[in-house]
């Protein structure tokens, strides 16, 4: 019997295990055009927290007591569509479960690229790598020579930002929490690393970037955003990607340096990965080249087993991951 995670009630603040349940589901026999997929890798991502609220956003809310959704890589085990045969590896949105039945149109067959593992399509070649690529190069218009500050630099998106920025000839300052994560960020090529758990962000950033910054890639909001405003140079650009500090809380963000937007002509630009789907060709070309050339490496944090999916997801908000958080089935 297939099993899937259900959202049983809408979380208030930080989700708790009681908000969820794993339930068994008898999947149907295949009709024409349908495919059965055994999932091998599940993605958990911070944006999923937003889908747990009953508010209109850029993705619709999860239905209550129904299988949740999320990025997944799986193997075709049965097919009644001529485009798929057992053994094909596919990327699809039928995650948070071990097995899915889906129309062929909902599946993307993964190309076999030497040296690229299938789960990369959930990370550096997928949502998180693409978010880093389009956010840095388009939303923030980052270019060679820029001084770039990125928060949550040890995370899935942040670690890709660090590596893309270095591949494009920028100076990079990354922020992460704790010595292990800072070492990891340094190993990715960051020119300077800030441990936000060791002291105020602004003081450390001002020391790490004595000339100021041209670009800020924001994954957290809060005091990181304020510090970036404080040291931003003229015509600097901020890509606003995530504010993980705010996802579970109703506290307002208080900014002491927001008025510098005017004097420094700062641009803040919010963005969403899916807006860039028409430009995926550019992303695959560049990112594929950097992965093949060793300029962008993956380091995943892997939990094993469908039962661990919730723990993996909740870990995102405690900073439990280095690189991409994945569940291996």
List residues near a copy of itself by CB under 8 A.
Answer: 50, 57-58, 221, 226, 240-243, 246-247, 250, 252-256, 258-272, 275
* Distance in Å, CB of 217 to a copy of itself, minimum: 13
Helix axes 127-134, 156-167, angle to 10 degrees: 50
Which phi and psi angles does 47 have, rounded to 5°?
-60, -20
| Separation between Cα atoms, residue 70 and residue 43, nearest integer Å | 6
Nearer to a copy of itself, 71 or 242 (CB): 242
Q: Kindly list the distances between the CA atom of residue 273 and the CA atoms of 20, 130, 131, 297, in Å, as whole numbers in the listed order.
A: 27, 7, 5, 20
* Distance in Å, CB of 274 to a copy of itself, minimum: 11
Nearer to a copy of itself, 237 or 324 (CB): 237
* Distance in Å, CB of 35 to a copy of itself, minimum: 32
On whether the CB atoms of residues 209 and 147 are closer than 8 A, the answer is yes
For 110, the token pair is 């993964």
Nearer to a copy of itself, 8 or 277 (CB): 277
How far, in whole angstroms, is CA 66 from its chain's centroid? Answer: 24
Nearer to a copy of itself, 86 or 270 (CB): 270
Nearer to a copy of itself, 112 or 263 (CB): 263
* Distance in Å, CB of 41 to a copy of itself, minimum: 26
For 63, the token pair is 């239905």
| Strands (E) located in 15-98 | 20-25, 34-43, 72-79, 89-92
Please calculate the CA angle 109-294-95 and round it to the nearest 5 degrees. 35
Nearer to a copy of itself, 46 or 70 (CB): 46
Nearer to a copy of itself, 110 or 239 (CB): 239
| Separation between Cα atoms, residue 257 and residue 86, nearest integer Å | 57
* Distance in Å, CB of 46 to a copy of itself, minimum: 11
Enclosing H/E stretch for 285? helix 280-292
For 221, the token pair is 């909001």
Nearer to a copy of itself, 28 or 211 (CB): 211
Enclosing H/E stretch for 204? helix 201-208
Length in residues, the chain: 329
* Distance in Å, CB of 242 to a copy of itself, minimum: 7
* Distance in Å, CB of 307 to a copy of itself, minimum: 31
What's the chain's Rg over C-alpha atoms? Answer: 20
Q: Kindly list the distances between the CA atom of residue 309 and the CA atoms of 5, 117, 118, 157, in Å, as whole numbers in the listed order.
A: 8, 20, 19, 19
* Distance in Å, CB of 253 to a copy of itself, minimum: 5
For 41, the token pair is 């890798």
């Amino acid at each position: 019997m297939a099993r899937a995670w259900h959202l049983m009630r809408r979380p208030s603040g930080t989700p708790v295990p009681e908000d969820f349940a794993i339930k068994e589901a008898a999947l149907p026999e295949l009709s024409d055009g349908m495919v059965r997929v055994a999932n091998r890798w599940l993605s958990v991502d911070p944006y999923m927290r937003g889908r747990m609220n009953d508010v209109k956003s850029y993705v619709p809310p999860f239905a209550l007591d129904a299988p949740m959704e999320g990025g997944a890589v799986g193997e075709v085990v049965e097919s009644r569509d001529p485009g798929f045969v057992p053994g094909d590896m596919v990327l699809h949105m039928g995650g948070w479960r071990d097995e899915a039945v889906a129309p062929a149109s909902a599946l993307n067959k993964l190309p076999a690229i030497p040296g690229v593992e299938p789960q990369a399509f959930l990370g550096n070649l997928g949502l998180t790598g693409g978010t880093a690529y389009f956010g840095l190069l388009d939303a923030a218009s980052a270019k060679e020579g820029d001084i770039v500050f990125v928060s949550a630099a040890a995370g899935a998106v942040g670690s890709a930002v660090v590596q893309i920025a270095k591949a494009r000839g920028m100076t990079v300052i990354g922020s992460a929490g704790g010595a292990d994560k800072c070492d990891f960020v340094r190993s990715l090529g960051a020119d300077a690393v800030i441990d936000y758990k060791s002291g105020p962000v602004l003081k450390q950033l001002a020391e790490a970037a004595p000339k100021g910054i041209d670009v800020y890639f924001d994954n957290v909001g809060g005091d990181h955003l304020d510090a970036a405003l404080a040291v931003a140079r003229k015509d600097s650009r901020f890509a606003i990607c995530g504010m993980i500090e705010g996802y579970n809380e109703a506290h307002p963000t208080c900014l002491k340096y927001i008025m510098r937007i005017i004097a420094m002509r700062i641009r803040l630009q919010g963005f969403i990965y899916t807006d860039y789907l028409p430009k995926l060709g550019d992303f695959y070309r560049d990112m594929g080249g950097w992965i093949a050339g060793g300029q962008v490496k993956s380091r995943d944090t892997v939990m094993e087993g469908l039962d661990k999916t919730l723990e993996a997801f909740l870990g995102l908000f405690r900073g439990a991951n280095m690189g991409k958080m994945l569940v291996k089935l």
